[in-house]
């Protein structure tokens, strides 16, 4: 059993100054308590007690090249020395935008922000302005950040969710404005007939349909064949803006995101996480005729810290490496190997795991279902059992995200993946 004594003391100290001892809701859930980390290198992370972990969280996704990639660090150090923020333009920002425009199918014009939440917020504001319509359609269990307008429809148990055909918009947080349920209409994912029905009756109120192209945040559920194209066609028919939230799928499933992988081009798309190796930058990309409203200042998008020099250079350097080394296909191969090894380990010890997702990221969990298609079906996952699995893995030096998502980086070697599979085999056997 590893000792977490130093982390425990630091966490107790942190609880006296930080709300809940952390700076993000998602960092609270770690047994026996949140750990403090001192450094990360490649696929490994070390905590304050000196425990080393093989890391499959990638800091919730951004570290697609692994921790502390030397080429990125050098570029960022040089950029930091040259200046941090100019309240003005710089060449790296222009070069990054040109590179993204070349890679992403829908990217005719772009704007940078700091986080995925901000860029999603800008996308929805822009969609309302483009259409003059007040509401948007979102899908149960998809995550589009923590801002007010998307903090409805992301959570909830079966009893709260109500009928599939007319779900109750469940609030994720206290403190949301009164009118918030009127902003978003919610439907289960992967059911085109329901979307068709809703747009036929209320299409003229709906500015946008926003979706993760793979439901990464709950079960890593792939779209049913034809579902994304169906959304594309329905949005075109009813004059709604189609938004792909590619904060997880972007640069990981393909350089041009899931829109390239599935061959379906949205009107607007949001990217974050994987393109800057952990430095804060996100991007809203979209059709010129829509983004024009931002260009003309009719739709306001701003931010003091946007496109800072070090983060921009981190993104530019990361993307050049991703392209040069064809990292999405590397991740796919590694991820498939890991996913199949874990499935096999589960079968061998009589603890079958359902594994879903394309490889660069996938979800693992215990469910009696052979396949999970939407958020309601993800509620069949045995979460307490998976929490025990995660704790057992951590005790043996493998760090996982508690809710079942696994991220694979370019820094994971075949030996790392085989170690994870062998460790999972032992932990599954012990459950
Ligand atoms: C699909 C998706 N959209 C948006 C966000 C929000 O991004 P951020 O945490 O950078 O605000 C996330 C974060 O996990 C995400 O997974």
Has 279 been annotated as catalytic?
no
Q: Looking at residue 31, what is its pLDDT?
A: 86
Please tell me the distance between residue 187's alpha carbon and the centre of ligand 1 in angstroms.
Answer: 20
Domain containing 267 equals 70-324
Higher pLDDT, 409 or 30: 409
pLDDT band at 30 (very low <50, low <70, confident <90, very high): confident
Cβ 282 vs Cβ 116: under 8 Å: yes
Q: Whose CA is nearest to atom 13 of ligand 1?
A: 145
Give the CATH number for residue 313. 3.40.640.10
The reported pTM is 0.98
Among 99, 108, 120, 413, which residue's Cα sits nearest to residue 270?
A: 120
pLDDT band at 1 (very low <50, low <70, confident <90, very high): confident
Atom of ligand 1 nearest to the CA of 118: 11
Please tell me the distance between residue 6's alpha carbon and the centre of ligand 1 in angstroms.
Answer: 30
Please tell me the distance between residue 64's alpha carbon and the centre of ligand 1 in angstroms.
Answer: 15
389 inside domain: no
Q: Residue 416 corresponds to which tokens in the numbers above?
A: 């790392």
Instruction: Return the best residue to mutate from 215, 273, 283, 404 for the ligand 1 pocket (most ligand atoms within 8 A of CB).
Output: 273
Strand locations in 295-411, DSSP E? 354-356, 361-365, 398-399, 405-407
282 inside domain: yes
- Note the pLDDT tens digit of each residue in 251-268: 999 999 999 999 999 999
- Note the pLDDT tens digit of each residue in 391-421: 999 999 999 999 999 999 999 999 999 999 9
Please tell me the distance between residue 146's alpha carbon and the centre of ligand 1 in angstroms.
Answer: 8
144 lines ligand 1 (CB under 6 A): yes
CA distance 118 to 304: 13
120 lines ligand 1 (CB under 6 A): yes
Cβ 331 vs Cβ 64: under 8 Å: yes
Pairing assessment for the beta strands 282-286 and 268-271 based on DSSP bridges:
antiparallel
CA distance 329 to 399: 24
182 inside domain: yes
Locus of tokens 């809710």: 403
246 lines ligand 1 (CB under 6 A): no
422 inside domain: no
Please tell me the distance between residue 217's alpha carbon and the centre of ligand 1 in angstroms.
Answer: 9
Domain tally, the chain: 1
In terms of DSSP H, where are the helices of 88-151?
A: 91-103, 116-131
- Note the pLDDT tens digit of each residue in 319-345: 999 999 999 999 999 999 999 999 999
Percent of the chain with pLDDT over 70: 100
- Note the pLDDT tens digit of each residue in 56-67: 999 999 999 999
CA distance 341 to 343: 5
Strand locations in 122-274, DSSP E? 135-139, 184-187, 206-211, 241-245, 268-271
CA distance 191 to 411: 37
| Arithmetic mean of pLDDT over the chain | 97
Q: Whose CA is nearest to atom 7 of ligand 1?
A: 116
Q: Residue 160 corresponds to which tokens in the numbers above?
A: 């709260």
Cβ 6 vs Cβ 34: under 8 Å: no
301 inside domain: yes
166 inside domain: yes
367 inside domain: no
State which H helix or E strand residue 283 sits in: strand 282-286
Atom of ligand 1 nearest to the CA of 249: 1
Contacts of 254 (CB under 8 A, 6+ apart): 260, 261, 328
20 inside domain: no
Has 383 been annotated as catalytic?
no
Has 178 been annotated as catalytic?
no
How much is the average pLDDT of 14-19? 97
């Amino acid at each position: 059993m590893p000792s977490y004594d130093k982390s425990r003391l630091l966490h107790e100290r942190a609880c006296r100054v930080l709300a809940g001892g952390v700076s993000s809701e998602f960092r609270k859930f770690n047994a026996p308590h949140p750990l403090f980390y001192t450094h990360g290198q490649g696929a490994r992370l070390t905590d304050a007690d000196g425990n080393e972990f093989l890391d499959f969280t990638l800091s919730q996704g951004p570290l697609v090249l692994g921790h502390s990639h030397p080429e990125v660090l050098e570029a960022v150090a040089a950029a930091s020395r040259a200046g941090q923020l100019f309240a003005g333009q710089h060449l790296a920002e222009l070069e990054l935008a040109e590179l993204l425009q070349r890679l992403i199918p829908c990217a005719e014009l772009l704007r940078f922000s700091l986080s995925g939440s901000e860029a999603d917020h800008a996308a929805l504001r822009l969609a309302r302005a483009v259409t003059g319509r007040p509401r948007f359609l979102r899908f149960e269990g998809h995550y589009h950040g923590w801002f007010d307008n998307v903090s409805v429809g992301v959570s909830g148990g079966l009893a709260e969710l109500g009928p599939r055909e007319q779900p109750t918009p469940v609030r994720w947080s206290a403190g949301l404005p009164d009118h918030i349920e009127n902003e978003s209409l919610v439907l289960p994912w992967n059911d085109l007939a329901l979307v068709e029905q809703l747009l036929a009756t209320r299409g003229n109120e709906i500015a946008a349909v926003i979706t993760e192209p793979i439901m990464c945040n709950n079960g890593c559920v792939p779209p049913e064949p034809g579902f994304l194209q169906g959304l594309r066609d329905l949005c075109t028919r009813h004059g709604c803006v189609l938004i792909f939230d590619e904060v997880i799928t972007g640069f990981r499933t393909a350089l041009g995101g899931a829109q390239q992988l599935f061959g379906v081009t949205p009107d607007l798309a949001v990217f974050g996480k994987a393109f800057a190796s952990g430095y804060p930058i996100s991007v809203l990309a979209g059709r010129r005729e829509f983004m024009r409203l931002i260009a003309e200042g009719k739709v306001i998008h701003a931010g003091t810290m946007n496109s800072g020099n070090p983060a921009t250079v981190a993104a530019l350097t990361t993307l050049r490496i991703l392209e040069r080394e064809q990292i999405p296909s590397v991740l796919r191969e590694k991820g498939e190997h890991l996913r199949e090894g874990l499935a096999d380990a589960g079968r061998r010890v009589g603890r079958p795991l359902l594994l879903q997702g394309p490889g660069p990221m996938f979800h693992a969990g215990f469910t009696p279902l052979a396949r999970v298609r939407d958020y309601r079906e993800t509620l069949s996952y045995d979460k307490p059992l998976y929490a025990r699995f995660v704790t057992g893995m951590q005790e043996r030096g493998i760090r996982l995200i508690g809710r079942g998502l696994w991220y694979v980086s370019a820094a994971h070697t075949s030996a790392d993946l085989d170690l994870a599979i062998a460790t999972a085999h032992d932990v599954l056997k012990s459950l």
